[in-house]
């Protein structure tokens, strides 16, 4: 089996303009993100290996917050996930694949987790 490196930011919450129903549009709603990035792995990670040999985890969080266009309404959370994938691919050519899980917190009635998971590989 080949080596792989998966970076992850889990259960990050951020408000996003999204939704199709009248009660959802016009105001941001809370989404919970888990983002995984498959990165090209280095030959070895020694104790003195610099950050440049990997990727800053905060880039994943940035892609799901500050990198989303301000004031843009995403009809589908699938489009939010797609934008996050595109952002991470553009940021770093070593990103081989991105998985974005989004849970819509506002529509949960009994603690269930309602949402999507999108995985994209670099094309």
Instruction: For residue 52, give the CATH number of its domain.
Output: 3.30.1130.10
**What H or E segment, with its residue span, contains residue 5?**
strand 5-16
Q: List strands edge to edge, sheet with 95-104.
A: 5-16, 29-39, 95-104, 115-121
Model pLDDT, residue 102? 98
Total domains in the chain come to 1
The pLDDT tens digits for 103-114 are: 999 888 888 999
Q: Is the dihedral of CA 30, 34, 40, 41 positive or negative?
A: positive
For 7-55, give the DSSP string: EEEEEEEEEE-B-SSTTTTTS-EEEEEEEEEEEPPPS---TT--GGGS-
The pLDDT tens digits for 29-52 are: 999 999 999 999 988 999 999 999
Domain interval for residue 81: 5-121
The pLDDT tens digits for 52-99 are: 999 999 999 999 999 999 999 999 999 999 999 999 999 999 999 999
Band of pLDDT at residue 21, cut at 50, 70 and 90: confident
């Amino acid at each position: 089996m080949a080596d792989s490196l998966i970076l992850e930011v889990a259960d990050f919450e951020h408000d996003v303009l999204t939704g199709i129903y009248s009660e959802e549009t016009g105001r941001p709603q809370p989404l919970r993100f888990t983002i995984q990035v498959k990165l090209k792995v280095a030959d070895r990670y020694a104790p003195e290996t610099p950050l440049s040999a990997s990727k800053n985890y905060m880039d994943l969080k940035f892609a799901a917050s500050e990198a989303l266009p301000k004031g843009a309404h995403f009809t589908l959370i699938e489009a939010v996930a797609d934008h996050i994938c595109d952002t991470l691919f553009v940021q770093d050519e070593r990103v081989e694949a991105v998985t974005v899980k989004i849970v819509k917190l506002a529509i949960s009635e009994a603690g269930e987790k309602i949402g999507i998971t999108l995985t994209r590989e670099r094309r």
